[in-house]
Amino acid sequence: MTSDILTKIDGRIGHISLNRPAAIHALDLSMCREMIAALQGWASDDAVDAIIIDHAEGRGFCAGGDIRMLAESGAKDGTEARQFFFTEYQLNHLLFEYPKPVAAFMDGITMGGGVGISQPAAFRIATENTRFAMPETGIGLFPDVGGGWYLPRLEGRVGQYLALTGARLDGAECLALGLATHYLPSSNLDEAKERIAKGPGRISGILGDLSSSAPLANITDHIDKINRHFASDDYEDILASLESDDGEWAAATRDTLGTKSPQTCKVALRQLKEGAAMASFAEQMKQEYAIGYHVVVKHDFIEGVRALIIDKDNAPQWNPATPADMTDAMLDEIFAPLPKSEEWHPL
């Protein structure tokens, strides 16, 4: 039986390849545990100077987490889903604090959980195949795996725009926004990995040497509109701003938001506002685990997965149905700290 995670030492690097192509390498609990074990072993191994994370085959780096399992668990008591979040966030934090350089090759679909294992890396390589997104508002979840840390630290209000709309970015846009550090043609990736394995002290130079000029980043044409319309941390203000603009972009963006879970959109805005002030990534992950603990058993997540992933009717019936129905008291309940015995903690 082939493992869903392939690990090896190649030259002077530890190499992790996601190997679940039928699911576009979506992470499950065992995959997270295998990655943690490999990373912990290499952290103190003098034969390993750096880490590469990529995917073995197929059209994406990592499409996210095992959403179907999470929803099935949430429809019961949520225990299995919470165990996955707990371990996945430990993996995210381990990568964030890792003592050796990590290079993540975001070649292809990089969403949700794939963002969580690529954004902590010092070197984040995008290609012409990269499709980056945090699409959780469409399924009633929220932009987790550190989204509350990374997104509010992007230029202007781009993070809030990405969190609410789930907009997909290409490799050039990832580079322009700082979500990627390098842009390489996919044809250069094998050479990049071979050279890094031989000279891990020269990762920056190797990637720079093999980089190409990225195409124009389309999102930069809309930064001014994003900053204006998404300026508020109040979701109703954002919707009103978009509705007051008769331009095509504003109308399309408003229509997109109309398909998203009002609960999730309000959660995301508060998550990013509080995340911007967090003192540490560990503090952020502790809060995101508390949010996930509560959200995974709520109606919108189970309904969103049903509508978009299981039945694929793309007609979720959100509850609360409107932003006005999603009260501050309901939001406070989702953000409520957990009892000490239930809290998330780093490895």
> Residue 11 has which token pair?
């030259």
Neighbours of 80 (CB within 10 A): 17
Q: Catalytic site residue 144? A: yes
Q: Catalytic site residue 41? A: no
Angle at which helix 235-243 crosses helix 262-275, to 10 degrees, equals 110
What's the CA gap between 6 and 54, in Å, rounded?
A: 10
Residue 337's SS3 state is coil
Helix (H) / strand (E) element for 18: namely strand 13-18
287: CB partners within 8 A, 6+ apart: 148, 271, 274, 275, 278, 335
Q: What are phi and psi of 316, to 5 degrees?
A: -65, 140
What's the CA gap between 150 and 44, in Å, rounded?
A: 28
Query: Catalytic: which of 107, 144, 170, 288?
Result: 144
Residue (of 132, 98, 105) closest to 18 by Cα position: 105
Q: Catalytic site residue 255? A: no
What's at 321, amino acid-wise?
A
What's the CA gap between 224 and 114, in Å, rounded?
A: 28
What's the CA gap between 179 and 130, in Å, rounded?
A: 11
Query: Catalytic: which of 60, 64, 65, 140?
Result: 65
What's at 13, amino acid-wise?
I
Q: Do residues 119 and 159 lie in contact, with contact meaning Cβ atoms separated by under 8 Å? A: no
What's the CA gap between 41 and 19, in Å, rounded?
A: 20
Query: Catalytic: which of 78, 112, 113, 116?
Result: 113
Residue (of 325, 331, 347, 260) closest to 290 by Cα position: 331
Query: Catalytic: which of 136, 173, 288, 303?
Result: 136
> Residue 71 has which token pair?
């929803």
Residue (of 223, 112, 209) closest to 168 by Cα position: 112
Residues forming the active site: 65, 113, 136, 144
